[in-house]
Structure 1
């Protein structure tokens, strides 16, 4: 694939662990049809005189029909580059060759950092070192160039349309809002129900653009986030700011117009980390980040750890993890889970993804599909820190309680998001005589079932116990059906001997234990496999027990958790607090923890 001599001629010095040596590419100017040529030289990332360079974010693509680039050691980008005595020829993928030909200037050199060329891919030590510092490389770049590929499927038209939309409407992901940039313009475009003024060709081209391979590659998340304020999206000879691109896409998604982006749910997941960081400055939690990137591809499963962990605001060195591509994938995942649990004092990643059938069930599967789109966060453990010990032999001891045993299981079968299909599923899983039954928490069983199907746990939305379920949850309402369709994908409805309804993993069986574990926000289904030994099946939702009731019991007399109306500083809003019905006063601290110091039991690092 490449001659080792070029990397021998441009070696990377071994300096302090914090000091990264890297190679840069001085890409010679040329016309589109001229051969690729460049100088390659080494420099230090923390040097005050670090050359101005741009970092390329792209997909390697197929290795067949490769292109070629002539490399000359040294930073002299002279005109006689092709005649240099020490020149070497390096094969690169067709997509990279296309990117370099599009990006090079016609008459002068352009300094780039390109991983496939600047890192000796055959040198495992060098690869490991660069993975730790990859984010720093993209942060140090003057710009990040996001290469989507050559012009095709009206991509030039699409880039122009997205640029125009972003120049008119400003979106705020944190506030879930849109507003016109120029208040003198027609404000209807910022209304959620007003369609985006795209032509048929623009809409069709947008769908094609969003299905280009770049959007499915795991590493691009880090590359785009680290350089988001300076990133430029390039497609063929058209370009636009990455921030403008994400702004335009959020505008389209906010309008919820299915005709604009077909099957666009994954686009929302893809954009979420970018939008969160851009609008709030906050990094997503580790479990949210891994969920949002679950469908993205990588050639090496170890990259799901090495690429994602730093983006959740937790550098690998903070977790005491050193990238090592010589370790088996299973060992990398196990080591990460143990380090993450110790650091965060949580079990949030346990049971989120499909189980690794060949290994410990408490480790996420690395070569299987996501378990489901069940991403509701309750407060089942009340923020109490995990009590965990690794016993060796792939066994993990955790603390928690079993509060229910599965008695019956019905799969949620919905082939498509159509009313007839969804309503048929609801009828098939609804127990007979439910209208006359009472749920263990005291509310009507029919209300509890409806709340379970849509994972309703927010006290801001929670109905009163005497609310007629037909008034609170209309199963024929479009919003209810859509939410149930999303919540129910890949899951089953389980009933327990104790009378609870459980939105459970599809593999749940009678006899499984429904538990609350310290350090885990959601409840979890475990399968007994021996005396006090269990196998993780997956996280679940149990209506009525989402605020620590299974651990701490009910709230003290006169106390409840509910909506509180606040008026301060000229603002009026609703929030959720613990309310003393006798005094009418509200507070943020759970009365069940009175007399206990926060640091004694609560999670502290995530």
Structure 2
């Protein structure tokens, strides 16, 4: 060994000698030992690795393991007393792999690579695939067997291997673990589940270590099993026993889909790319040549590496699979910037410089897990036919220019489909089946599900196939994953229908009128596989939305898909992509994830491109003062002797800009200074000096005119008095013309005021009762809506600020209140829950978990995707800072809240929750006034003993818990609402105000404000008259006969009479008011409000305070003297 030791205290630490060439590796010769207690000893030698295969004299085995803790707490004795510190993990591995009677030649990265030398580490990483391909065997160390489950796990693998190899035993196993799965014991599967959860299976590097033809053996404690045996068993479980894996928490996708892993606990994010260097797929003919030339370099930044890989994968590629990997969950995708926008000079704006998690939208972030890839290479989709990708990449600006064809527009979208929406379980009687809901609401089918191509109403799918088949195909990506062993084109439609109907017949309610008899008959007798269809639909559609296009096609798109989005087929793509609709003549998806408050300029289309680019307009072009300060400076910097200007149009504009020379002071040429300093102003008609006619301007607009710049240039050139303007006047004049003719716009964040204005001026104002911004603000002010405080620890009853609301504006009033209370927007700093499974992770609750506290659960070392388990009857909603919404229908109309990220129609959203999920409490008028007539509240589900519950089937237990949780939520809202004590009431409704107050006033605390909006005055005037002084005096002096003999508490709930529609003593300070902030127009010689047809109703507001009538007579106390006048 040609290395030298270095003194370090009392120990001599081993120092690596650098490699002399780029094709050598170090081999560890591990000395034998008779006992595990003996220290590790070995020798390191440098040996050549020539080409893809080693020289004949090199014979070694490669070690694969998990680093674990980076602390080097153990040591390896190298040579003559030299010590090499190592981690506990590799120390345990070498101890287990050490032979008792002979040396063992091994390669392990921690020992054979100088990890402190970044350059050497990168050079050796480039050889790693050759190392594992050249090894005689790969020895995988899974870790210690601390719980003693390794041998049982290996026995289960060997047993399953025998079962799957025997046809009769395999069929018996299928019946037992499909139809009778609920009868199977969980205990035998726990060791195997533990094996699948071991950290080694989450490592990215195993695609090189196991992704070769070299045989491999896995060691777990004292047990061992071959990789071929384990992977064969896992392949069968993944393909056919999805619900078995879900029930027993067997995470076999970790083992099966090693080549699709996107999440693993490696320390360096660059290893997520470098781990694939040398992978066999890189040497396929279809692989872009640039990827083969990529080398590991740990001196480059993470963003630089990821962008380089994306550019290499797209340039010269035959497919666009690289773009398919950029689809993440909503929380992830919305946190990334879209860097397709450029400045005028092609550089990225400094304000948009890269951060750690800010990659261009077309660059996959390998640190995140992408959803199922629609455009994977093994799919038969050919949306773009035989076309090839037409793209170019600007490496300096990180801009991807790609060509495609507009196909359709999204018309309707569904809710975000949950991962367990299509699991096989019986549907409860009071719930709507997910497929039925999609059939009715998205597919717009009124008749029951049928197998014919035309519905009874005459509607048909555009392709002519049955709509039910199209829906089933769309939800499963054409069922490709169910038939990978056969050519997809040879699979008949009848087989796809059989699988889908088998699932529907097994899970739909027995008497569901939307499921026809022919569907049920085919599902029962067609021989389809319900579990196979369920598995594929769950895998494909989770975290996505189903949409209906304008032409009537079904579209399965990302969770960010919205109505108005455009469906585009990119040339060379296998599947259509969805981008947002257009603003003017450019795709608005160019704006996604960009910062707000930036002004953009729409440029003309370049030759060969199908879309317009955007230019970020710097602030110096938006202000006359800044414009005049920078014009002369820019001209001097850009001036080059003997050089022709690159843009004559730009030069024309700059030549028209007058700037003062150095040391020269400009005088106002349109002012004459008389003797004595008296200024006499010269005025002239601005319009008379402009010779460019309106007809010529319109002609320039029709021609495009350089995105408006040519018009501005000609206006400057054709102005006969341009030379008489000062520099500031000229800059101001140019700026005004640019605002008028250049296509510029500024993107602003959506808030409630902007939403109200948009609904008033661009959408249907009647849907928000023509409620203007001022009216929204007044309601919030008069109702005193504000942050209601944080919950008090230990208090289990409602407290703090709580407001009642009656909202018939589609959620606009609720949004305005929530904005004031700080619960309208998600907390961007809230940590996101990691989702580290490529395959569908188990979401079925196990029997022990559903039993609320049983300890018979599968131990796991990785975070679970399930929500923290809580008791069914625990509190579900916030006790303070909440809005209780009273509505007239079975469900409230809160459609506008979707624009703020909250979907009220989804009862079980994914974590992290939107604040409104816990702080918005919907309650119907029926539940408010007569809760016992509402079966959801009145019928409390019976509590089942634990022993009996454990014997139930999984679906039945799930229905039991869902009913109890639903009842608990309803009970919390109803009981909390009827207890009263609310801090205020805000109303914007089409209901009669008197009837609202008659039932809502008793729920308010004393002194609570009331604010009621109405587009007309009549109803509010009638309501105010009910609380007039005269009516209150009449009530006190001569109460109505119906009120005699009743206590004040009873009169609070008095339902009124003809003379007294409502108890007039319950409110004080009643008033009706209006306030409208009109836009004003300033013209020469006059100023008047804008004469606009739009803008909402005048809007009126009823205000007052809740009063608590006092018992008995009220008299003044004290000694009062008569004042003298």
TM-score relative to the length of structure 1: 0.71
Whole-Å separation in 2 of the counterparts to 1:380 and 1:333: 28
Residue of structure 2 in register with 1:348 after alignment: 321
Deviation at 1:389, TM superposition (A): 0.8
Residue of structure 1 in register with 2:154 after alignment: 159
Contact 1:348 1:519 in 2 (8 A): no
1:332-359 deviation digits (Å, cap 9, x = unpaired): 1221122122243211120333244422
Alignment of 1:26-45 (within 5 A): 26-30=29-33, 31-45=35-49
Contact 2:218 2:226 in 1 (8 A): yes
Whole-Å separation in 2 of the counterparts to 1:58 and 1:189: 34
Whole-Å separation in 2 of the counterparts to 1:468 and 1:107: 61
Deviation at 1:58, TM superposition (A): 0.5
Distance 1:317 1:164, change over 3 A: farther
The equivalent position to 2:24 in structure 1, one of 7, 21, 24, is 21
Residue of structure 1 in register with 2:995 after alignment: none
Residue of structure 2 in register with 1:567 after alignment: none
Residue of structure 2 in register with 1:556 after alignment: none
Between 1:480-489 and 1:23-32, the stretch displaced more is 480-489
Residue of structure 1 in register with 2:126 after alignment: 132
1:433-471 deviation digits (Å, cap 9, x = unpaired): 45432233334545433432233275444649xx99997
Deviation at 1:375, TM superposition (A): 6.5
Please state whether the residue corresponding to 1:314 is helix, strand or coil.
helix
Residue of structure 2 in register with 1:53 after alignment: 60
Contact 1:492 1:505 in 2 (8 A): yes
Residue of structure 1 in register with 2:400 after alignment: 396
Matched, 1:203 2:189: yes
Deviation at 1:486, TM superposition (A): 2.5
1:273-300 deviation digits (Å, cap 9, x = unpaired): 7xxxxxxxxxxxxxxx4xx222444322
Matched, 1:305 2:258: no
Matched, 1:497 2:550: yes
1:24-79 deviation digits (Å, cap 9, x = unpaired): 1122223212222221121111263543211101100123573222223xxxxxxx
Whole-Å separation in 1 of the counterparts to 2:38 and 2:418: 55
Q: RCO (CA 8 Å, sep 6+): is it higher in 1 or 2? A: 1
Whole-Å separation in 1 of the counterparts to 2:96 and 2:502: 57
1:309-338 deviation digits (Å, cap 9, x = unpaired): 543521587632122122122221221122
Residue of structure 1 in register with 2:461 after alignment: 439
Residue of structure 2 in register with 1:278 after alignment: none
Matched, 1:120 2:129: no
Distance 1:199 1:146, change over 3 A: farther
Whole-Å separation in 2 of the counterparts to 1:265 and 1:488: 22
Distance 1:194 1:255, change over 3 A: farther
Contact 2:319 2:572 in 1 (8 A): yes
Residue of structure 1 in register with 2:433 after alignment: 424
Alignment of 1:516-535 (within 5 A): 516-527=569-580, 531-533=585-587, 535=589
Distance 1:51 1:28, change over 3 A: same
Whole-Å separation in 1 of the counterparts to 2:232 and 2:6: 43
Matched, 1:506 2:559: yes
Between 1:471-480 and 1:352-361, the stretch displaced more is 471-480
Whole-Å separation in 2 of the counterparts to 1:485 and 1:51: 49
Contact 2:375 2:575 in 1 (8 A): no
Deviation at 1:201, TM superposition (A): 4.8
Whole-Å separation in 2 of the counterparts to 1:522 and 1:262: 34
Larger radius of gyration: 2
Distance 1:209 1:433, change over 3 A: closer
Residue of structure 2 in register with 1:369 after alignment: 369
1:548-572 deviation digits (Å, cap 9, x = unpaired): xxxxxxxxxxxxxxxxxxxxxxxxx
Residue of structure 2 in register with 1:277 after alignment: none
Contact 2:140 2:216 in 1 (8 A): yes
TM-score relative to the length of structure 2: 0.40
Deviation at 1:261, TM superposition (A): 7.1
Please state whether the residue corresponding to 1:126 is helix, strand or coil.
helix
Whole-Å separation in 2 of the counterparts to 1:327 and 1:27: 35
Please state whether the residue corresponding to 2:580 is helix, strand or coil.
strand
Contact 1:203 1:260 in 2 (8 A): no
Distance 1:164 1:516, change over 3 A: same
Contact 2:231 2:255 in 1 (8 A): no
Distance 1:473 1:225, change over 3 A: closer
Contact 2:242 2:535 in 1 (8 A): no
Alignment of 1:577-596 (within 5 A): none
Please state whether the residue corresponding to 1:509 is helix, strand or coil.
coil
Please state whether the residue corresponding to 1:298 is helix, strand or coil.
coil
Between 1:113-122 and 1:186-195, the stretch displaced more is 186-195
Please state whether the residue corresponding to 2:224 is helix, strand or coil.
strand
Contact 2:128 2:278 in 1 (8 A): no
Residue of structure 1 in register with 2:729 after alignment: none
Whole-Å separation in 2 of the counterparts to 1:504 and 1:488: 9
Whole-Å separation in 1 of the counterparts to 2:435 and 2:6: 63
The equivalent position to 1:67 in structure 2, one of 71, 74, 86, is 74
Whole-Å separation in 1 of the counterparts to 2:464 and 2:56: 70
Whole-Å separation in 1 of the counterparts to 2:591 and 2:324: 6
Please state whether the residue corresponding to 1:438 is helix, strand or coil.
coil
Question: What is the CA RMSD across the aligned residues, in angstroms?
Answer: 3.6
1:353-409 deviation digits (Å, cap 9, x = unpaired): 324442211111233332357577322122421111113412211121111122222
Whole-Å separation in 1 of the counterparts to 2:103 and 2:96: 13
Contact 1:154 1:202 in 2 (8 A): no
Contact 2:418 2:543 in 1 (8 A): no
The equivalent position to 2:475 in structure 1, one of 430, 438, 453, is 453
Please state whether the residue corresponding to 2:90 is helix, strand or coil.
helix
Alignment of 1:204-603 (within 5 A): 204-226=190-212, 228-253=213-238, 256=241, 258-259=243-244, 262=247, 267-268=252-253, 270-271=255-256, 289=259, 292-308=260-276, 310-311=278-279, 313-315=281-283, 319-352=292-325, 353-354=327-328, 355=333, 356-357=336-337, 358-372=358-372, 377=379, 378-392=381-395, 393-414=397-418, 416=420, 417=423, 418-420=425-427, 424-429=433-438, 430-431=440-441, 432-435=444-447, 436=457, 437-456=459-478, 458-461=488-491, 463=493, 474=504, 476=508, 478-479=530-531, 480-527=533-580, 531-533=585-587, 535=589
Whole-Å separation in 2 of the counterparts to 1:204 and 1:471: 34
Distance 1:342 1:269, change over 3 A: farther
Contact 1:153 1:208 in 2 (8 A): no
Whole-Å separation in 1 of the counterparts to 2:437 and 2:148: 44
Deviation at 1:230, TM superposition (A): 2.1
Residue of structure 2 in register with 1:193 after alignment: 174
1:102-154 deviation digits (Å, cap 9, x = unpaired): 11123432221110111111111111111111111011111110111122342
Whole-Å separation in 1 of the counterparts to 2:498 and 2:154: 50
Matched, 1:102 2:91: no
Whole-Å separation in 1 of the counterparts to 2:109 and 2:248: 32
Contact 2:581 2:588 in 1 (8 A): yes
Contact 1:525 1:537 in 2 (8 A): no
More helix, by proportion: 2
Residue of structure 2 in register with 1:581 after alignment: none
Whole-Å separation in 2 of the counterparts to 1:449 and 1:187: 36
Whole-Å separation in 2 of the counterparts to 1:71 and 1:344: 48
Contact 1:362 1:536 in 2 (8 A): no
Contact 2:75 2:83 in 1 (8 A): no
Distance 1:96 1:127, change over 3 A: same
Deviation at 1:217, TM superposition (A): 0.7
Whole-Å separation in 2 of the counterparts to 1:444 and 1:190: 33
Contact 2:42 2:77 in 1 (8 A): yes
Whole-Å separation in 1 of the counterparts to 2:427 and 2:502: 21
Whole-Å separation in 2 of the counterparts to 1:8 and 1:468: 67
More strand, by proportion: 1
Whole-Å separation in 1 of the counterparts to 2:591 and 2:478: 22
